[in-house]
Amino acid sequence: MELPFDHAVEQHGATVLRVCRAVLGPGADADDAWSETFLSALKAWPELPDDTNTEAWLVRVARRKAIDITRARARHAVPTDELPEQASTDQTHGDNDVWSEVAALPERQRLAIAYHYLGGLPHAETAELIGGSADAVRRAAADGMKKLRKSYEDKEPNNG
Q: What pLDDT, in 10s, does the model give residues 77-114?
A: 667 777 667 665 554 445 567 778 888 899 999 999 98
Contact 9, 46 (CB under 8 A): no
Q: Would you mind telling me the total number of residues written for the chain in this entry? A: 160
pLDDT band at 10 (very low <50, low <70, confident <90, very high): very high
Full-model pTM: 0.56
Each residue's pLDDT tens digit, 110-158 = 999 988 888 888 899 889 888 899 999 999 999 999 998 888 787 766 6
